[in-house]
Structure 1
Amino acid sequence: MPQLKYEQIAESLRARISDGEFGPGDLLPSGRDLCEQWSVSRATVIKAMDVLRGDGLVVARQGSGFTVVEAPVARPAGRRASGSSRISGGSPFRRLGVPGKEVPSARVAEALGLESGAMALRRDRLMLLDDGTPLSLVTAWFPEEVADACPRLSQKGPIAEGTTHYVARTTGRSPVRGIDLTSVRLATGSEAGHLGLTEPAAVAVVLHVASDSTGRALVCEEGVTPAHLWELTDSYPMGGSRTE
């Protein structure tokens, strides 16, 4: 399906930010300039900016327009329903180590559909609370075919537009199905160290897998959150007043 005009504008700006043309804190082209460049109304430009703002990529500055965020946010693993924005549930984060290829655990390999011994690209991030203390440790695993097609995944720093948009824009493969599996176990020594926990410590683990329209996995994220910081609330309609 062809992109609508506002989607094209948002995608163009997203690519320019990702390519480094606009860095953190930089002012984006004015609404008037974008209207002229794309031959669209101001309402269309505003809609495009709303998309980028929903992704946590830009912020509005009163009297000056839109600027690239200086402190990007990310979400914990899972809960990526269609229509949810990147800033919904997003938190500041810190990258850990340098991304690299290694053999994932059997659980992750199965989730990605990898053969035994196959490599995947690993990226770690530590989600933070507002006071800077650890919230969740998230390890993202990308199949080699995705990692090789998306070289920015191997860089240490954050990807301004977010990995989901970057992978979709680069490979043409968008996530259409997500599966989240939640379990509880004790933290490993490494996990406890990153999360500031005293062992033994219980943690909730969310295994999130995003797949494209062909059913091939794009990424598997394993999010580890201290038990005292993890909760899940569901709100849903219930039928009538009848009881059974």
Structure 2
Amino acid sequence: MDAKYRLVADQLIAAIDRGEYPVGSVLPPLRELTARFDVARGTARAAVAVLVGEGLAVVRQGVGTLVCASRPTSRPTPPPPPASPRPGLPEVVLSGWTSADAEVATRLGVASGSLVVHRIRHHRTGRRVVQIDQQWVPAEVAGRIEEHTGQDIADRDDTPYANLTDLMRQAGLNPVVAAVTLSARMPEQPECATMRIQATRPVLVAHHVVHDSTGRPVETTTTVGSADRATPMFTIPVS
């Protein structure tokens, strides 16, 4: 199922296509969107970010979010991703905007509900997924990366790179892993399905935070890996 922000964004896009919000009009403010769709403020903000990212709207200080285009009836088909990632490298399976929950916000040093980029990566042995990474990057950092490199890390088709270290370095962030915590627990149902493991087999969990050269958090990742001895060594990427 799509995240809530994507569902809200799709409804706003449909309203633009119907002419409910013509080009040049102002979208409802966040407080109105939260009430209309019964979502949190961060979710509404992420939905608006989708429209901005797709070139359908633009934010104007003191005015609001202006509709600047409608979705064309036919869009060019993006080139398909590679059939499979190179051996040993993780594969980005999801990337988009979301709002940070309390735990992620604490790790990144931002307010709960702040807009962040959420990326999910899979590590495979053959066709089997043996490790799942969930990565969050603050909106400010994502914007800086795009400004310096032209890469939109919230768009999987635009930036399919599994490792963001080089992009962060090009943006002058000099990422360094500053904190790592490790634990073990029983797997959740989606993890069992993705990694094809039994609910009675424990998984290893790592939370790590990456800081820039000033000590500011620029990325955090939660990694879940199979504790099966037959799988590769549990790895923690820098970014």
> Per the shorter chain, which TM-score range?
0.5 to 0.7
Task: Report the CA distance shift for 1:183/1:192 in structure 2 as closer, same or farther (over 3 A).
Answer: same
Q: Is structure 2 residue 201 aligned with structure 1 residue 192?
A: no
TM-score, with length taken from structure 2: 0.53
3-state DSSP class of the match of 1:153? coil
CA shift at 1:222, angstroms? 0.9
- Corresponding residue of 1:96: 93
- Give aligned-pair identity as a percent: 24
Q: In the alignment, is the contact (CA less than 8 A) between 2:85 and 2:91 conserved in 1?
A: no
CA shift at 1:177, angstroms? 4.4
Map Cα deviations across residues 222-243 of structure 1 (whole Å, 9 max, x no partner). Answer: 110012147679xxxxxxxxxx
CA shift at 1:146, angstroms? 0.9
- 1:136-151 correspondence to structure 2 within 5 Å: 136-151=131-146
Q: In the alignment, is the contact (CA less than 8 A) between 1:192 and 1:201 conserved in 2?
A: no
List runs of 5+ in structure 1 lacking aligned partners: 1-69, 74-89, 234-244
- Corresponding residue of 1:209: 209
Matched pairs, number: 146
Separation in structure 1 between the aligned mates of residue 196 and residue 101 of structure 2, nearest angstrom: 23
Separation in structure 2 between the aligned mates of residue 222 and residue 161 of structure 1, nearest angstrom: 14
CA shift at 1:95, angstroms? 2.3
CA shift at 1:127, angstroms? 0.4
Q: Runs of at least 4 residues of structure 1 off by over 6 A? A: none
CA shift at 1:213, angstroms? 1.6
Task: Report the CA distance shift for 1:202/1:133 in structure 2 as closer, same or farther (over 3 A).
Answer: same
Separation in structure 2 between the aligned mates of residue 145 and residue 216 of structure 1, nearest angstrom: 12
- Corresponding residue of 1:133: 128
Q: Which amino acid aligns with 1:139?
A: Q
Task: Report the CA distance shift for 1:232/1:96 in structure 2 as closer, same or farther (over 3 A).
Answer: closer
What's the Cα RMSD here?
2.8
Q: In the alignment, is the contact (CA less than 8 A) between 1:143 and 1:219 conserved in 2?
A: yes
Separation in structure 2 between the aligned mates of residue 118 and residue 93 of structure 1, nearest angstrom: 27
| One of 112, 115, 119 as aligned partner of 1:119 | 115
Q: Which amino acid aligns with 2:145?
A: C
Q: Is structure 2 residue 105 aligned with structure 1 residue 109?
A: yes
CA shift at 1:201, angstroms? 3.7
Map Cα deviations across residues 87-118 of structure 1 (whole Å, 9 max, x no partner). Answer: xxx82333223x11223343322111121222
Q: In the alignment, is the contact (CA less than 8 A) between 1:71 and 1:92 conserved in 2?
A: no
Separation in structure 2 between the aligned mates of residue 161 and residue 232 of structure 1, nearest angstrom: 17
Separation in structure 1 between the aligned mates of residue 99 and residue 186 of structure 2, nearest angstrom: 22
- Corresponding residue of 1:225: 225
Q: Which amino acid aligns with 2:216?
A: R
List runs of 5+ in structure 2 lacking aligned partners: 1-82, 147-151
TM-score, with length taken from structure 1: 0.52
Separation in structure 2 between the aligned mates of residue 127 and residue 215 of structure 1, nearest angstrom: 29
Map Cα deviations across residues 195-218 of structure 1 (whole Å, 9 max, x no partner). Answer: 112324421111111101211111
